[in-house]
Structure 1
Amino acid sequence: MKLAVIVTEYPKSTETFIYRDLVKFAELGAEIRLYHLTAFRHGQTLHAFAEPTRGWVRPIALLGGPALAAFARAALRHPLVLGRTLLQIAWAYRAHPKIALKSLALAPKALAIAADAKDWDAAHVHAEFAGHPATAAWIGHRLGGPAYSVSCRAHDIFRTQQLLDAKLGEAAMVRTVSDFGRAFLKDKVAGMAARDIQVIHSSVDVTRITPVDTLPSTAPFRILYVGALEPKKGVQHLLDALVEAGSALGDWCCELIGHGPSADALRAKAGALGLSGRVRFLGMQPFEAVAAAYGQASVCVAPSVIGPNGRQEGIPNVMIEALAYQRPAITTAISGIPELIRDGDTGLLVPPGDAHALAEALLRVQRDPQAALEMARRGRAHVEAEFDLAVNAARQLALFAG
């Protein structure tokens, strides 16, 4: 099938979960065109496994000739539908003027994407995230573009539910990555209670990840964090937990892989806490280096919290990866995380923002590595059963085909 996919940004080094899906879709026979709403991000790393996606990108400028021409055609042919659609956006986001302006500004590009996809004879348009990508797919469909679906993940539905009733209500298929997300939509969004919402977890290719069936036998005790350095990730609480655990952890080190707006503040905090010699900020790393870090880790930690404006995780993809590599995992009991990490079974859960509980969990893994490895083995089996890329990608394609 010919599949058009809309994302907000491209490339984006942290959105490996999207690129995994796209590459697998192509392996399963789909032809793909990829549209990004913002300008091409030249400074971002595109991991080697995602390199094929570069050839699928269709660059359309936000207010370039094709976008303006598509908007003019829509205004001439369907002025009432276009006008009602734009008014609906403005009214829905009246309490969020920044979102309203961005949504209205992308209308010409959304129409150009729809026209390009239709000319290509795309069978379906898929929006990755329920925010601006879903808005673009919805606008295009309203003005005669292909049927569309939406993947709902985390902040895209938790931050605001405005306009979701229209965007999701008119979609051919709605997918969330967690049961928590489905329950949230059914509770918070008009019309969703009776809607058939598909739960398809974010996935990893378990056939290409060899589980590491041992833990490091020599010091130091290696603590690994992978992800963006931003408030909702809760890394500040990990630093506090390391101080609290102190010498009881023995010889330890902590590696932080990723970048983000909190990086400087976290470096300063680590220095102020006297952790600079043990905590290493490695910045963004290629996927191959991240994979090696998983294999060497004694424990992987995702100390997620609910951040500003309700921003929170769906299910952290790094925790899925950690379990795929069969690493002991510690994270927090928010959102859909308990669907992956079952406390004491596939990993350890602590309350969000609780540095003391996080310190205790680290010590538990350090003191009983064999029990931690047993949990990691059960975690790998859980990922194989519910988070396998081949199974979940095939399921998505079948739903797209409808």
Structure 2
Amino acid sequence: MRVAFLVGHFPRLSETFVLNQITGLLDRGHDVDIYTEHIEGWTKVHPDVEKYRLWERTFLIHSVPQNYIWRVLRGLWLTLIHFRQAPWLILRSLNVFAYGTQAASLWLLYSAISLAEKQASYDIIHCQFGTQGYRGATFKRLLKPMPKLLVMFRGHDISRYVKEGGDKVYQALFKDVDYCLANCDFFRQRVIDLGWNAEKISVHFSGIDIKKFKFKPRSLSPGESIKIATVGRLEEKKGIEYAIRAVAKQIEKTPSLAYYIIGDGSLKASLHALICSLGMDSNIHLLGWKNEAEIIQVLDDCHVFIAPSVTASDGNQDAPINVLKEAMAMGLPVISTCHGGIPELVEDGVSGYLVPERDVYALAEKLEYMLAHPERWPDMGEAGRKFVERHFDLQNLNDLLVVRYKQILSQDHWKNEKKLLSQKGTASFSKKSPLRSAYFEK
């Protein structure tokens, strides 16, 4: 199969779930091209980007200027550059009789120019976020024979974006979509609530390569200092402020406790100031961003993992986050929040504990209980490892993705959904947008 992935940014270190699907499809003999609005550079990248030479498969999606005069002038310049590469594709994009306002607004022209360099046809157009769906719809209309359009909802696209654009933000897009995926049941239900057919959307979890994360039962030796870790971007949605405050309360009772926070982001300065104001700079450490091997090394030496995600003020929410899966795969008991899709990953009281969002006292209480009962750590760690193996194994999920593609192409994919998932052993649960306005602009 030939597959086009549409993403907002590539390659992005924090979006290994996209990279894992790309390399998984390539390993299975399929052809994948990546179309992105922003190429973030090729110097600091995941090793798989270099291994698979993904820069050779990556193409820039040309943005559509808001100012119509500038849009016409830039479109003319880009047409002169690319016309010889794909003349019929560019001419088709200007056919106002076939495509109406989409052609007249030059929205289709910019999509055609984005496709011109590769001059490829595709079986599947896979939009990795709902926010890429409108561009995916134009790709679908331009390419002959018409490929199938698959849209996957992952987080901000079905939380923050919907809050900003309103409940009808995807209504027009749904007319062009063939099938949808969501990375947790929490977001799947959100898509259904927006008017999508429940029979044409499935949960497809983001997987991890479990072999990379060696399991180790956690225990506490006499006199050993307890070490706690968090991994995530230093942004509001990750809720790290609340974990810092909760850990600080515990440090007052356990002075040797060490808390390691791996990640970088816009809140780095304010979180550092908070740590200093609490007098915890000798116990709570902001380690900055680390690569995968460095993260594994830190987690291997820790006893407990905290993932304190919250709903951000702009509505942004998390699915079951990969760093939490990785920590559980390594045998770490976890403390997280009743947030987004996280309860679909952490079994409260089994592999760890769940507390309400932004509740410092509840976090501190569960942390104190966890540290007072190290005898529970091995059982919690084993339960977490088994759950991740059963539901989030990357190889199984990539196999399942290929089968989903084939079923979408055969147009009878939803009929065999339950049978398919039982065979794979993978869980399933059956104001105005700027992108939307550009798509329909006259």
Please indicate, yes or no, whether the TM-score normalized by the shorter chain is above 0.5.
yes
Tell me what 1:252 maps to. 257
Tell me what 1:14 maps to. 14
More divergent stretch after superposition (106-115 vs 27-36): 106-115
Deviation at 1:331, TM superposition (A): 0.6
More divergent stretch after superposition (336-345 vs 107-116): 107-116
- The amino acid across from 1:151 in the alignment is M
Q: Distance in 1 between matches of 2:265 and 2:102?
A: 38
Tell me what 1:274 maps to. 279
Tell me what 1:150 maps to. 151
3-state DSSP class of the match of 1:198?
strand
CA contact (8 A) 1:153 1:181 kept: yes
3-state DSSP class of the match of 1:308?
coil
Instruction: Describe how 1:52-63 pairs up with structure 2 within 5 A.
Output: 52=52, 54-60=54-60, 62=62
The one-character-per-residue Cα deviations of 1:331-384 (angstroms, maximum 9, x if unpaired) are 100111111001001211010000111111211221112212211210110111
The one-character-per-residue Cα deviations of 1:281-308 (angstroms, maximum 9, x if unpaired) are 1111111101111211211111011102
The unaligned stretches of length 5 or more in structure 1 are 88-103
Q: Distance in 1 between matches of 2:340 and 2:387?
A: 18
Paired residue for 1:391, among 369, 390, 396? 396
3-state DSSP class of the match of 2:305?
strand
User: How many aligned positions are there?
Assistant: 380
Tell me what 2:200 maps to. 196
1:13/1:109 Cα in 2 relative to 1: closer, same or farther (>3 Å)?
Answer: farther
Deviation at 1:61, TM superposition (A): 6.0
Paired residue for 1:212, among 213, 216, 223? 216
* Structure 1 position 334 matched with structure 2 position 339: yes
TM value normalised by structure 2: 0.79
1:308/1:125 Cα in 2 relative to 1: closer, same or farther (>3 Å)?
Answer: same
Tell me what 1:92 maps to. none
Deviation at 1:389, TM superposition (A): 0.6
* Structure 1 position 346 matched with structure 2 position 363: no
- The amino acid across from 2:213 in the alignment is I
The one-character-per-residue Cα deviations of 1:219-272 (angstroms, maximum 9, x if unpaired) are 321111111000111011011112222332341111111111111111111111
CA contact (8 A) 1:124 1:400 kept: yes
More divergent stretch after superposition (210-219 vs 387-396): 210-219
CA contact (8 A) 1:341 1:349 kept: yes
Tell me what 1:124 maps to. 124
TM value normalised by structure 1: 0.87
Q: Distance in 1 between matches of 2:58 and 2:141?
A: 21
Percent of aligned pairs sharing the same letter: 25
The root-mean-square deviation of aligned C-alpha atoms, in Å, is 2.5
Q: Distance in 2 between matches of 1:338 and 1:76?
A: 48
In our comparison, the structure showing a higher alpha carbon Rg is 2
Paired residue for 2:189, among 173, 183, 187? 183
CA contact (8 A) 1:179 1:336 kept: yes
- The amino acid across from 1:398 in the alignment is V
Q: Distance in 1 between matches of 2:133 and 2:82?
A: 20
Deviation at 1:209, TM superposition (A): 2.5
The one-character-per-residue Cα deviations of 1:11-39 (angstroms, maximum 9, x if unpaired) are 2111112112221221122221112112x
Q: Distance in 1 between matches of 2:129 and 2:53?
A: 18
3-state DSSP class of the match of 1:219?
coil
3-state DSSP class of the match of 1:249?
coil
Q: Distance in 2 between matches of 1:81 and 1:56?
A: 32
Instruction: Describe how 1:84-163 pairs up with structure 2 within 5 A.
Output: 84=102, 108-114=109-115, 119-131=119-131, 133-144=132-143, 146-159=147-160, 160=162, 161-163=167-169
CA contact (8 A) 1:304 1:352 kept: yes
Tell me what 2:424 maps to. none
CA contact (8 A) 2:257 2:283 kept: yes
